A and B are shown apart, each in its own frame.
Chain A
C-alpha cells in the first residue's frame, strides 16, 4: 500500500505549491517525530508516492534505568530551556534505581525531547509552503538504546543538538539575552531627535547607556558629548542590525534599539529552531543565502571563499527556504515572463506607453501546447542579466544576474519577485566552473559579451541553501539581528507554542 499526494505547481516564476491532499494525513498531533514517510517536497511537480512505513520493530524488553542513567536523562530534560526547547518537563532528580514503569516514562520523555532537539518541535503539517527546508525523519530510539547498552549515554545526549557553530552562537546568545531580560532589559529611548557626532545633550548619555547593555565595549562614561568612542559604538550597533553604519542615530537606529529584549529572545529561539531543520552533515562545498539579510556566501571545504550582496524577495513575493543543487549556469538567459508578472506589471505599461514591450526586448512566443508566453530576449535588457544559476525546486526560483545594479547599494535589499539576484554573478560563475578547462574566465567573458544563450553544466552539482536567519552571532560572539520581513519568526513562535505545553513527570 502506498500513500499518494497530489502536488500542483502553478506555472509561474515563483512558488505556489498547493498540497491538495495528504498534508492532514502526515501532520501529527503532539510532539511526535515525523514518520518515516514524512512529507518531503519533490524535486519536480507531480504525484508524489511515498513508500509505506517500514514494519514496526519487535517490541523491546522493558528496561530499568540505573540511578546514574536516570540522573543523566533528568539533567538532559532539565537543560531543555537552555537549548531553546520551549516545552519544559518538571521532573525531580531520582535518588534510587527506577522501576520498569518509571523507566519507561522517563525514556519516553527523553526520546520526545531528543526528537525536538535534533529535528525541531514542529510536526510535518505545521510547515508553511514557503518553508521548503524541512528536517529529515529522525528516530532516536536505535541510537538511544545502543548508547544505553554501551555506556555512552553522555555522548548520545551531547550529539543531539545541531553540530554547528551558528547554533552554538545562538545558544550562548539566548543565555546572555535572558540574563539581560532578568536584569530589566531596556526601556525605549526617550528622545526622538537625531543624534550625531559632536552633539551635546542628556540624550547622548541615555544612548550610551542603552548601547552598553548589548555591547560590552561601550564605556560607562556619563558624558553628554557624542564623542569618538560613542560614534564607533553606534556604528557597531548599526552593523549588528543590518543598517547603514552612518554613526548618526536617526529613526531606523532608534527603532532597532527600541525592539524589546523579549522580542530579541523570541528571534533567537525561532532561529535555533530553524537550525534543527538543517541536515547534521551539510556538504562542505555549498552556497548559502540568508534571505532576511540578502547576502550570499560560497563555502569551499566549510571555509568561506566568496561572499556578495544579494537581492531577495520583497514581502508578498517571499523567497522560499529550500535546499537544492545547482546543476548548470545559463549564459545570456532569456526571461520567460510569468503570466502573473505579464498581467500585473508589463501589459499595463504597454497600454499606458505603447511600444514599451518592443523597446525592452519582449516578444510573444508560441509554446508547444499551443499557448503563448511573453519572453524577454537575452542581452543587456534582460531582467536576468547575463547569468542564471539553475537548480531544481518547486518554487521556480533561481539565482541570477540583474541589470538593476543600484539596488545592491541599499541596506534594505528585499526587492525581487522571489528569485535571488546576485551582485557579482561572474565571480560565482568563475568559481563554480574553475575545474572545467573549457570555461576559463576569459571564455566566460567572451560568451556573455555576445547574445547567444548557452547552458553550461557544472562539473559536479553544488548544493545551495536558501535560509532565513534573523538572528545570528558574529565571530566575536555579539548577537546580530535583522528585521523579520516576512513575519516568519512570529509565525514559527506561534506554531511552536501550539505544539508545546509544560508537563510534569512524576517518578515514584
Chain B
C-alpha cells in the first residue's frame, strides 16, 4: 500500500516502466494476477531481497562418495561356510567330552564320604 501511495505521487514515471513491470509480474509470478493498475497509476519495481548467507553448518557433514567409490560386493560365502553358519544358528550340538573330568579324583584320596 505504501508503495502504491508513493507511486501516485509520481505520475510522471515512464509508461514503459509500467508496462515492463506488468509483464514481469504476469510472467514470473504464479500467484493470482494482481488487479491491473489504473491508467494513471504506475507500479514501482521492488527488487527481490538478496538472502544473506547465514546458515549454520550441520554438525556432521557426510560427503557424498565420489562415483568411483562404489562398495565392492560381499565375498561369496561357500556352501560349507553357509551350512556351518546355519548349524550354529540352529544350535551347535557337538558333544563336549568331559570324560577326563569324570575320571578325576582328588589326589589326597579323601573324597569318600565319611562315616556317619
Contact residues of A with B, CB < 8 Å?
61-69, 72, 97, 100, 145, 148-155, 158-159, 163-166, 168-169, 191, 193, 195-203, 226, 228, 231, 235, 239, 245, 247-248, 275, 278, 282, 288-290, 293, 295-297, 299, 302, 304-308, 465, 467, 469, 472-475, 480
Contact = CB atoms under 8 A, between A and B. Distances in A.
B54 interface: no
Contacts of A195: 62
- Give the top 9 A-B pairs by smallest Cβ distance, nearest first: A198-B65, A198-B69, A155-B102, A158-B101, A307-B86, A197-B71, A151-B111, A304-B87, A166-B92
Contacts of B83: 297, 304-307
A66 B109 CA distance: 11
A290 B83 CA distance: 14
B60 interface: yes
A203 B89 contact: no
Contacts of A159: 98, 101-102
Contacts of B69: 197-198
Contacts of B95: 163-165, 302
Nearest to A206: B60
Interface in B76-116: 82-96, 98, 101-106, 108-116
B89 A247 contact: no
A307 B62 contact: no
Interface residues on B, range: 35 or more
Contact of A469 (B91, B101, B113, B116): B91
Given A248-B71, A308-B86, 7 more contacts: A63-B114, A64-B116, A72-B106, A168-B96, A197-B71, A198-B66, A200-B62
B60 A289 contact: no
10 contacts: A65-B113, A66-B111, A69-B111, A150-B112, A151-B106, A245-B74, A293-B90, A302-B94, A307-B87, A480-B89
B110 A295 contact: no
A304 B114 contact: no
Nearest to B79: A307
B109 to A, nearest CB: 7
A278 B91 CA distance: 11
Contact of A203 (B62, B82, B84): B62
Contact of B70 (A66, A197, A307): A197
A199 B93 CA distance: 42
Contacts of B110: 66-69
Contact of A164 (B60, B63, B85, B96): B96
A473 B90 contact: no
B14 interface: no
A473 B62 contact: no
B101 A297 contact: no
Contact of A149 (B72, B89, B112): B112
Contacts of A288: 90-91, 93
B28 interface: no
Contacts of A199: 62-63, 65
Contact of B93 (A164, A202, A248): A164
Contacts of B116: 61-64, 100
B93 A165 contact: yes
Contacts, number: 180
B61 interface: yes
Contacts of B105: 151-152, 154-155
A163 B62 contact: no
Nearest to B65: A198
B101 A154 contact: yes
A488 B62 CA distance: 40
A472 B88 contact: yes
A475 B84 contact: yes
A193 B62 contact: yes
Contacts of B90: 288-290, 293, 295-297, 307, 467, 469
Given A155-B103, A201-B61, A245-B74, A474 B114 contact: no
A63 B113 CA distance: 7
A289 B90 CA distance: 6
B76 to A, nearest CB: 12
Contacts of A164: 91-96
Contacts of A64: 113-116
A467 B74 CA distance: 30
A6 to B, nearest CB: 33
A247 B111 contact: no
A124 B105 CA distance: 35
A488 B36 CA distance: 73
A237 to B, nearest CB: 13
A448 to B, nearest CB: 24
Given A100-B116, A195-B62, A201-B60, A158 B92 contact: no
B101 A155 contact: yes
A231 B69 CA distance: 12
A483 to B, nearest CB: 13
Given A155-B102, A199-B65, A307-B82, A163 B89 contact: no
A304 to B, nearest CB: 4
A455 B102 CA distance: 47
